[in-house]
């Protein structure tokens, strides 16, 4: 069992390198074989291992990274939608618009317009760029996280006979 741990760490490191390659070369063509070679795996084993570690296939992660880059460029840059499409690594404007609308829920130009019309404090991100978990936390009662932690800590301090199950 001890020998499995270094192998797992080694596999995780190799998959991490492949993920970096996938997410940082968005404007370049990258084949599955090239990414699998970075992880020193066969393409089919690479897909299975990648999905088990990261929860999505290499292609899904690459598309998500391209969409995230496109969102940042649409909001923070004055590039045309066509230029954003090319900078994010999409081959055609039609594919980009379709994938963007499917993942985000609006076309790139509507997304840009909506994001730019939101009132912003200088130096902060638009609300559409915040992770969903932060948005949900905004609606929790004040102190809800600390109350839960306090209950857990006080339960640990009680003698075993008085602990609630």
Extents of the domains making up the chain: 4-117, 128-162
Closest Cα to residue 112, out of 132, 92, 99, 126? 126
Residue 43: is it exposed, middle or buried by C-beta count within 10 angstroms (0-12/13-18/19+)? middle
CATH number 3.40.50.1980 given to 4-117: no
41 in the Ramachandran plot: left (φ > 0), alpha (ψ -120 to 50) or beta?
beta
Helix axes 93-104, 58-76, angle to 10 degrees: 90
Is 109 a residue whose pLDDT tops 90?
yes
More confident residue, 138 or 34: 34
Is 124 a residue whose pLDDT tops 90?
no
> Cβ distance 91 to 54 under 8 Å?
no
Is 90 a residue whose pLDDT tops 80?
yes
Is 103 a residue whose pLDDT tops 90?
yes
Is 104 a residue whose pLDDT tops 80?
yes
> Cβ distance 96 to 124 under 8 Å?
no
58 confidence band (pLDDT: 50, 70, 90): very high
Is 137 a residue whose pLDDT tops 70?
no
Nearest-angstrom CA–CA distance, 158 and 63: 50
Strands of 18-98, DSSP E? none
């Amino acid at each position: 069992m001890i020998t499995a741990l270094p192998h797992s760490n080694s596999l995780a490191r190799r998959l991490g390198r492949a993920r970096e390659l996938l997410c940082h070369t968005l404007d370049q063509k990258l084949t599955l074989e090239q990414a699998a070679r970075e992880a020193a795996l066969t393409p089919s084993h690479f897909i299975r291992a990648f999905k088990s570690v990261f929860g999505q296939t290499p292609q899904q992660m690459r598309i998500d990274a391209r969409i995230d880059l496109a969102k940042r460029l649409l909001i923070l840059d004055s590039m045309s939608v066509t230029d954003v499409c090319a900078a994010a690594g999409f081959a055609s404007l039609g594919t980009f618009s379709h994938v963007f609308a499917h993942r985000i829920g609006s076309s790139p130009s509507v997304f840009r317009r909506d994001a730019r019309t939101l009132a912003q404090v200088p130096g902060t991100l638009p609300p559409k760029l915040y992770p969903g978990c932060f948005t949900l936390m905004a609606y929790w009662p004040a102190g809800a996280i600390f109350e839960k932690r306090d209950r857990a800590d006080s339960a640990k301090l009680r003698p075993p006979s008085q602990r609630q199950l």
